Amino acid sequence: MHLSPTLNVDSIRCTLATKVLGRRIDLFEQLSSTNLEATALGESGVEHGTVVIADRQTAGRGRLARTWFSPGGANVYCSLVLRANLPVNRMPEWLSWLPLITALAASEAVESVTSAPVSLKWPNDLLMSGRKVGGVLCENIQASRSGPFQVIGIGINVNMAPEDFPSELRASATSLWNETHTVVDRNRLMAQLLLELEQCIEELAGHGPQQLALAYQRRCSTIGRKVRASLATGVELTGYAESIGQDGSLRISTDPGAHRDRAVDLRAADIVHLRS
Ligand code: BT5
């Protein structure tokens, strides 16, 4: 662990240039999960753009009930409450693009603060040197007295040293320190993350996903790769990732040898990048 400047709301506000996101920031030394806290706040009616940050999580969550390794003193764990003010017919587009644009915004924030390249593994993993440096967990909360809202959760490994990772993650995970050998001020990174998120969210709400889709596709290292996709049904597919669809899905042309040569559009799956 490399000595990280302490997380502090005043320090975040020093460089925060957003209009709406982060008007309210709740910072905790420890939470079970920032997504759970943001959900509780959303249910209590907090405004759009409320931010929850924790220095450590005792039960950090990944997708599909997986866990997110969340030690204290080094990393970023944050969640935002979003209340989309959109007509009902635009909600499917909003919900399918939200995880992708959150990952896009996080990658742009990391690149802007570190000057080191970040790519995206579809749908929402942040990679540096092919290893996972961050992840996104988006949840749509329907049954709430305060009306429906979304929680977007972001975890980024910032100042963790390689030996701080549990052995099962050492080969697949990395941190900004690992990649750049520079201690990153998490307050500065948080401020940049909120700014990039605000810009992407405004673009999606105001103009739809077309420009964001281009930016996402440029950054997505899954495109053009041979991949293995594991679907929720347990089915596994191997093929070449061709493109991102208008609904954020990943188009894969399956192996000519394994199946008939055909394309499949995946809405949700776990992807492994294979060597071609
Ligand atoms: C994700 O899930 O990548 C979403 C992670 C979201 C975490 C944030 S932290 C703030 C907010 N509050 C929460 O409770 N969660 C969000 P998924 O694609 O399912 O990946 C999970 C998998 O990544 C695990 O099964 C591990 O293999 C791996 N993993 C766990 N912790 C990691 C870490 N710190 N760095 C890199 N890989 C990790």
pLDDT tens, per residue, the chain with 276 residues: 667 889 999 999 999 999 999 999 999 999 999 999 999 999 999 999 999 999 999 999 999 889 999 999 999 999 999 999 899 999 999 999 999 999 999 999 999 999 999 999 999 999 999 999 999 999 999 977 888 999 999 999 999 999 999 999 999 999 999 999 999 999 999 999 999 999 999 999 999 999 999 999 999 999 999 999 999 888 999 999 999 998 999 999 986 555 556 889 999 899 999 976
What token pair was written down for 251? 């188009």
Ligand 1 atom nearest the C-alpha of 70 is: 34
pLDDT score of 175: 98
| 69 Cα–ligand 1 center, Å | 7
Distance 210 CA to ligand 1 centre (A): 28
Q: What is the pLDDT of residue 11?
A: 97
Q: Whose CA is nearest to atom 37 of ligand 1?
A: 173
Q: Ligand 1: list residues with CB < 6 Å.
A: 33-35, 57, 60-64, 66, 68-69, 77-79, 125, 132, 135-137, 153-155, 157, 169, 173
Phi, psi of 88 (to 5 degrees): -55, -35
Instruction: Compute the distance from residue 88 Cα to the ligand 1 centre, in Å.
Output: 31
Give the residue, out of 68, 82, 131, 139, with the most ligand 1 atoms within 8 A of its beta carbon, to mutate for a pocket test.
68
Tell me how far the alpha carbon of residue 251 lies from the centroid of ligand 1, in angstroms.
24
Q: What digits encode the pLDDT tens for the residues 145-184?
A: 888 999 999 999 999 999 999 999 999 999 999 999 999 9
Distance 63 CA to ligand 1 centre (A): 7
Token pair of 185, please?
């001020």
CA-132 nearest atom, ligand 1 = 36
Q: Is pTM, for the whole model, over 0.85?
A: yes
- Which pair of structure tokens corresponds to residue 38? 């943001």
Q: Which residues sit opposite 102 in a β-bridge?
A: none
- 158 burial level (CB within 10 Å; 0-12, 13-18, 19+): buried
pLDDT of residue 255: 65
How many whole angstroms from 226 Cα to the centroid of ligand 1? 23
**Closest by Cα among 163, 145, 181, 177 to 74:** 177
